[in-house]
Amino acid sequence: MSKFLEEDFLLQSDLAARLYHEYASDLPIVDYHSHLPPDAIAANLNFANITRIWLAGDHYKWRAQRVLGVEEKYITGDASDFEKFKKWAACVPYTVRNPLYHWTHMELKNPFGIREMLNAENAEKIYEQTGAKLQNAAFTPQGLLTHFKVEMVGTTDDPLSDLADHKQIRASDFTTRVQPSFRPDKAFNLAGGETFRDYIRSLNEVSGIEIKDLDSLLQALQQRVDYFHVNACRIADHGLSHMPTSDFDRGQLNSVFKDVLQGKDQSALASQDAFTGYVLYELCKMYYRHGWVQQFHLGALRNNNTRQLQTLGPDTGYDSIGDYPQALNLARFLNLLEKESCLTKTILYNLNPSDNEVFAAMTGNFQSEGIIGKVQFGAGWWFLDQLQGMTDQMNSLSNIGLIACFIGMLTDSRSFLSYSRHEYFRRLLCNLFASDMNNGLLPNDIEWMGKIIKDICYYNAKSYFQL
């Protein structure tokens, strides 16, 4: 029986341990979607302390602290770094059965070598131990990526970015491939008022194209797609509550868009979904021409606490799972691209676990000759990247699709310590396969099952993204 955080953690049989240690544990990582800051990778400066690398920007930890009644000044406020860490340490014992309890101690163990359970009593000692190690060269952003054997990491970048940090990284001798991903969500926000107009003005400036109608908007976006492609971008990403409609009237949208540019927002909200659908459709055709992979993260219900939104801004831990209808619009949108013969490689992620089978089934409708797993059911994401969520996702994929073609785990994180999530995933994957083998549901062919596991953990993604 495996014990907490020891060598065979999560591996509930000798066979599971053998699959993990012989086939999965030492593989490199292809982290094709993350929110790591490219400027931090380029600068490669040491973090001052563990609070800066571990707690800053971590919505998971922030939400847990709020449940426990921690004052906001110790979460996102002006308390000192040590005070924030000590508050988090006092919370950790109460996170049992939440993935934070596992992640916290896995991340202290690797890379810091700390095996103690974090709490208020040992917080100061662990703060000092980690702080000392963080000053070593091995604990810079580049040092940590090397330590975790990250072969490729995809950042998430706005079309306005000049990608200067990516250029600097590519010109250096750093061996991990750091690739930008095109994230155009702000270009869809037709009903955003002055915020949207400010964004369009910035897009106008960076593209060098005067945006006065839909044609010029698409020309500006094409310029940015081309610029990103020249600078090694091969992936686009989109965060949407649901796939937008594929039923749009271009002439009407052009009229509404021109009105919005003039400050006339009367029809913007009513046209928002159709506008998103049209612009996204045109972007997807651009991605296809460049041979990119497109990702759709669907199902988040964002900014639920408007009082805190006004105080702290977006992306501060007040998003949750939405219950949007997904199947019909998703099918129609992908079919529209398929009819035009311009559906590129696509990864679909659901945030609502009730959509697992819907998404797994959808992928089978749009595969192509000569491409293994062209349309992918993406790994458990955000609220679902925990043991039950990942298990359910892999079971749905196994039952309805082919898990052998799965491109595996991604971090979707802002922290350089989050690569323990790949270890978490790999241990769970090996335990799932071993359980089926021990129960006679799969043959006891260790070499073949080991190959499948290696493919899911690394080789499928390496091939899918042509690394």
Per DSSP (E only), the strands in 318-452 are: 320-321, 345-350, 375-377
Sheet holding 181-182, edge to edge: 181-182, 235-240, 293-298, 345-350, 375-377
Sheet holding 29-31, edge to edge: 29-31, 150-154, 177-179
pLDDT band for position 1 (50/70/90)? low
Segment 231-238 shows an average pLDDT of 98
Q: Looking at residue 245, what DSSP letter applies?
A: P
For residue 156, the Cα-to-chain-centroid distance in whole angstroms is: 9
Segment 277-288 shows an average pLDDT of 98
Q: Looking at residue 186, what DSSP letter applies?
A: G
The structural domains of the chain, with segments of one domain joined by +, span 14-47+138-464, 48-137
90: its two tokens: 């006092």
Class of domain 48-137: mainly alpha
Is 403 within 8 Å of 433 (Cβ atoms)? no
Q: How confident is the model at residue 448, as a pLDDT?
A: 98
Q: How many helices (H) and strands (E) does the chain have?
A: 20, 10
pLDDT of 2 above 70? no
CA distance 114 to 122: 11
Which residue blocks in 110-193 are alpha helix, DSSP H?
123-133, 141-147, 164-171
List Cβ neighbours of 390 (8 Å cut-off, separation of 6 or more): 379, 380, 384, 425, 428
10 Å CB burial of residue 312 (0-12, 13-18, 19+) is middle
Q: Looking at residue 24, what DSSP letter applies?
A: I
Question: pLDDT tens-digit profile of 15-28?
Answer: 999 999 999 999 99
Architecture label for domain 14-47+138-464: Alpha-Beta Barrel (3.20)
Q: How confident is the model at residue 328, as a pLDDT?
A: 97
390 closest CA partner among 369, 410, 363: 410
Segment 370-377 shows an average pLDDT of 97
Is 70 within 8 Å of 91 (Cβ atoms)? yes
Is 231 within 8 Å of 182 (Cβ atoms)? no
Please state, as a whole number, how many other Cβ atoms lie within 10 Å of the Cβ of residue 412: 21
Lowest mean pLDDT across 253-267, 282-296, 301-315, 381-395: 301-315
Question: CA distances (Å), 49 to each of 80, 87, 100, 126, in order?
Answer: 11, 15, 20, 11
Element spanning 106, H or E:
helix 99-109
Question: pLDDT tens-digit profile of 405-445?
Answer: 999 999 999 899 999 999 999 999 999 999 999 999 999 99
Residue, of 202 and 2, whose pLDDT is higher:
202
- In the chain, the amino acid numbered 146 is T
pLDDT band for position 152 (50/70/90)? very high
Percent pLDDT > 70 in the chain is 100
Q: Over the range 440-459, which residues count as b (16 or more CB within 10 Å of their CB) and which as e?
A: eeeeeebeebbebbbbbbbb
Mean residue pLDDT of the chain comes to: 97
